[in-house]
Amino acid sequence: MKTFTTILFWLVIAVSVIQFIPMDTTNKSVKKSENFVDVLNTPSEVQEILKNACYDCHSNETVYPYYAFIAPFSWSVKSHINEGREHLNFSEWTTFNKDLKQGMLANAIEEIQQKSMPMAAYVPYHPKANLTDAQRKILTNYFSEILKSSKF
């Protein structure tokens, strides 16, 4: 019992201490001239799906959930955001070259169809990201249209 109490004591101390490790949750400002939905004049229906299901990890308009402020969960959230933005950042769309954009759109279609995106761990905490098949179709149709039109 004594060992258990000691372990619990140090665990509480450790969890408390890690709360003080600073985490950067500021978003870079979004320039209209670089922003996917502004540049492509994306229909509002598509914009809404993107905002609800993709923006938290693939844009500079991340809304941090409450658990993003509790270490160690916050570390996992932040790493998903950093990694997500590296793969695809809708807010910095025009900064990517044509090949990268083409790859991002093609990958996005695949990920949405295979239901790999939005990330499974994210959806239970974000009911609006639980996309219906119809919403998935709207997104993939839109991305395919852009790919075909080579407007990117």
Our CB check for ligand HEC shows the closer of 71 and 89 to be: 89
* In the complex, minimum distance from the CB of residue 132 to ligand HEC, in angstroms, rounded to a whole number: 12
Residues 21-80 that bind ligand HEC (CB under 6 A): 53-54, 56-58, 80
* Stretch in the footprint of ligand HEC (CB under 6 A) among 37-45, 65-73, 108-116, 144-152: 108-116
* In the complex, minimum distance from the CB of residue 1 to ligand HEC, in angstroms, rounded to a whole number: 41
Q: Which pairs with CB-CB distance under 8 Å and at least 24 residues apart come from 69-76?
A: 69/23, 69/25, 70/19, 71/15, 71/18, 71/19, 71/21, 71/23, 72/18, 74/23, 75/23
Burial of 120-147, coded b for 16+ CB within 10 Å and e otherwise, reads eebeeeeeebebeeebbebbbebbeebb
Chain residues in the site for ligand HEC (CB under 6 A):
53-54, 56-58, 80, 83-84, 87-88, 104, 107-108, 111-112, 117-119, 122
